[in-house]
Structure 1
Amino acid sequence: MSNDSTTGDATPRPGWRGRTAFALLRASLLVSPRPAALAIRTVFARTGAQTARVLDRHAPSGTRTERDRRYGEGPDALLDVHRPADAEGPLPLLVWVHGGAFVGGTKDELAGWFRLLASHGYVVAAPRYSLAPGHRYPTPVRQVAAAVRHLCAHADELGIDPARVVLAGDSAGAHIAAQLAAVVTTPGYGDQLAVAAPLTADALRGVVLACGPYDARLAGTASSPAGALLIKATLWAYTGRRDFLEHPAARTFSVPDHVTPRFPATLLTVGNADPLAAHTTALLAALDREGVDVRTLLWPPDHRPALGHEYQFALDTDEAQAFLARLLEFLGDGLGDLRARP
């Protein structure tokens, strides 16, 4: 028997196995977010392996990596440091936080991406952070802050210029990076999260945010039942609260409420078919109101092919290459274009 069925209009419909799995996951949310969160993690592991293969094909030689360097206590307090093999320091620092809906993803899946960026003259650091449901909000923000603090404290050893730092992330990692940028630049926000700023606002030269969720008020805007299930499961798993949207923690989650004119120059991108596109629109509006220097790579609604979540890692496509070019331009402007040095 086929797993999928098709109606007369040739529109695919989920087969009985898919409908049964969806019903079971939805029923599990009456009790706990854990089964749905773990199912999402499994899916992300499969797609992450596919992404890794694409990125590895585009990763040049001529970089070197220190893997699993410890930045703090606990089994997840590890980071990778990628740098050009023959460049002399100190080099600007790009800290990239991986995505995975707060319940999955790994730094290892994006290693090819990090090597690619490092080859352009940057130290690229990729921290691991603890995943929900075993660890809850805002633990990852505190961990990434600790990773940045460690990197700056060991700048001489690592060949880093701690006065030239960019925070970046994709999907859930974009949210974590954006929160940390607000901790650095918005008075009192770090106190609400119990996160101390790991560097000064002057040292934070920019933020790169790709396809992230930034506003808790948009959690109910999913375009499909499966999307709504994912959002409900991940937010409950991440916060430990079924009523997250009614809880005071939702106010600290929403980055648009915590940006000021001191927020660093920002590069924003999202696909035109990304279910999280409204989050980028909301953050862009908030940054514009504050007069922040914002650069974007956004796509018209009718762009074809339609660009889904994390389109920027599909480096065999023109659109992903366009983002890479825009990213390198942004880094060169904010950190100094090392490619122009003798």
Structure 2
Amino acid sequence: MKTITYTTTSGEKIQSSFWQATGNTINPTIIYIHGGGLIFGNRDDLPQTYLDRFLNAGYSVFALDYLLAPESTYQDIIDSVKAGVTHFLNHFNELGVQDNRYILFGRSAGAYLCMQLIADDLSPKPTALIDFYGFESLLASNLLKPNALYSSYPKVTKAELKGLVGDSPVSHSSYEERFLIYVYARQTADWQKMIFQGTDGEEIKLTKELLTSNFPPTYICQSNADPDVPFINSIMLKAKLPNAKLMPITSKDHDFDRVVSPETLKVYEQVIDWLDHLI
């Protein structure tokens, strides 16, 4: 694994991790974007067992950190992710891959960021998109209200929140360091306010034209009892995309693949089989 550092347009240093494929190296590189509600998480959260499946199948993996809210704005977050993709596009030969073809793979909010990048006229566009329990829009009506799961947790107060939020940009965190910020956001329905910094929302719209004519083949995978992001969001996204596959998972967990098991390994093997037939 190689650690790579690059700089955003605002001058922030961001790191990424690169794993070289051990199998057929003519495949595109997977650019992985982690989840965490745009508030917590880091690029190294994908279990090594899943990584090894991709690498052995000939898919190198380039995993990105990115700026996190609320210390950074939505636009800074988007710019930091775009900086990572741009670094790969401009330096792929230094990584030992044969070309700059790539697949975007996001989990949860990472999938949202993938879709935002595609909508932001990313060029060249990805060969494919892998969407694990993501969402098309942060402004979906069922994400704008307090979440029942997080509302059942002990209440996070504003005083506690103040002690968790830093004074400078953050681009890498553990679950323990910042998860309570996300809990607060979902308990209070302030999630969007924390991302968009109190505006009416600035996200890039996935237009009908983009979704129907210029969106890459997409593999959508989500629990049909997801307590965090309603499963209906994936059903509605699938209905808009002419070249998408929706794979429902029977689980009561949002991140059903958090713990490696024979069942979750099968899910990743199905994704790889889909990619192999697509590429």
TM-score > 0.5 by shorter chain: yes
User: Is contact 1:272-1:308 (8 Å) kept?
Assistant: no
| Superimposed CA distance per residue, residues 284-308 of structure 1 (whole angstroms, 9 cap, x where no aligned partner) | 1222xxxx21112114xxx4xx332
Instruction: Determine the C-alpha separation between the residues in 2 that align with 1:138 and 1:330.
Output: 33
Match of 1:79 in 2: 16
Residue identity matched to 1:165: Y
Q: Work out the CA distance in 1 between the residues paired with 2:278 and 2:258.
A: 22
**Where does residue 312 of structure 1 map in the other structure?**
257
Match of 1:206 in 2: 128
SS of alignment partner, residue 213 of structure 2: coil
Matched, 1:238 2:183: no
CA distance in 2, matches of 1:153, 1:90: 18
Structure 2 gaps, min length 5: 152-182
Q: CA RMSD in A?
A: 2.5
- Does the Cα contact within 8 Å between 2:88 and 2:100 map onto a contact in 1? no
Q: Check 1:164–1:214 CA distance in 2 against 1; reply closer, same or farther (3 A cut).
A: same
SS in 2 for 1:84: coil
Supply the distance in 2 between the matched residues of 1:222 and 1:279 (Cα, whole angstroms): 17
- Asked whether 1:174 is paired with 2:115, we answer no
User: Aligned runs of 1:100-115 on 2, under 5 Å?
Assistant: 100-110=36-46, 112=48, 113-115=50-52
Instruction: Give the 3 Å change call, closer, same or farther, for CA 182–330 of structure 1 in structure 2.
Output: farther
Alignment equivalent of 2:5, drawn from 64, 70, 87: 70
Number of equivalenced pairs: 238
Report SS of the residue matched to 2:236: helix
- The 8 Å contact of residues 70 and 194 in structure 2, kept in 1 or not, is answered as yes
The answer to whether the 8 Å contact 1:211/1:309 transfers is yes
**How far has the Cα of 1:72 moved from its partner?**
2.0
Distance in 2, matches of 1:127 and 1:214, equals 20
Alpha-carbon distance, 1:183 to partner: 2.5
Name the counterpart of 2:35.
99
Change over 3 Å in CA distance of 1:75–1:273 after alignment to 2: same
- Find the aligned partners of 1:106 and 1:278 in 2 and give their Cα distance: 27
Choose the corresponding residue for 1:294, options 239, 244, 261: 244
Q: How far apart, in 2, do the equivalents of 1:161 and 1:293 lie? A: 27
Q: Cα distance, 1:115 vs. partner?
A: 3.9
AA in 1 matched with 2:259: A
The answer as to whether partners of 1:207 and 1:265 remain within 8 angstroms in 2 is yes
- 1:9-60 CA distances to partner (integer Å, 9 max, x unpaired)? xxxxxxxxxxxxxxxxxxxxxxxxxxxxxxxxxxxxxxxxxxxxxxxxxxxx
Structure 2: distance between partners of 1:123 and 1:116: 10
How far is the alpha carbon of 1:149 from its aligned partner?
A: 1.5
Q: Which residue does the alignment assign to 2:221?
A: 269
Aligned residue runs from structure 1 range 176-195, under 5 A = 176-184=113-121
Maintained 8 Å contact 1:76/1:128: no
Please report how far the alpha carbon of residue 157 of structure 1 lies from its aligned counterpart in structure 2 after TM superposition. 1.5
Q: Distance in 1 between matches of 2:259 and 2:80?
A: 28
Give the superposition deviation at 1:331: 1.9
Further displaced range: 70-79 or 145-154: 70-79
Of 275, 280, 286, the match for 2:234: 280
Q: Which has the larger radius of gyration?
A: 1
Q: Distance in 1 between matches of 2:220 and 2:25?
A: 28
Task: Please identify which structure carries the higher helix content.
Answer: 1
Give unpaired runs (5+ residues) of structure 1.
1-64, 185-196, 336-342
Deviation at 1:278? Answer: 2.5
% identical aligned pairs: 21
Aligned residue in 2 for 1:32: none
1:150: Cα distance to partner?
1.2
Conserved? CA contact 1:89–1:159, under 8 Å = no
1:225 is displaced (CA, Å) by 6.7
In 2, distance between residues paired with 1:333 and 1:130? 34
Aligned to 1:56: none
User: What secondary structure does 2:127 align onto?
Assistant: strand
Q: Distance in 2 between matches of 1:222 and 1:93?
A: 38
Q: Which residue of 1 aligns with 2:275?
A: 331
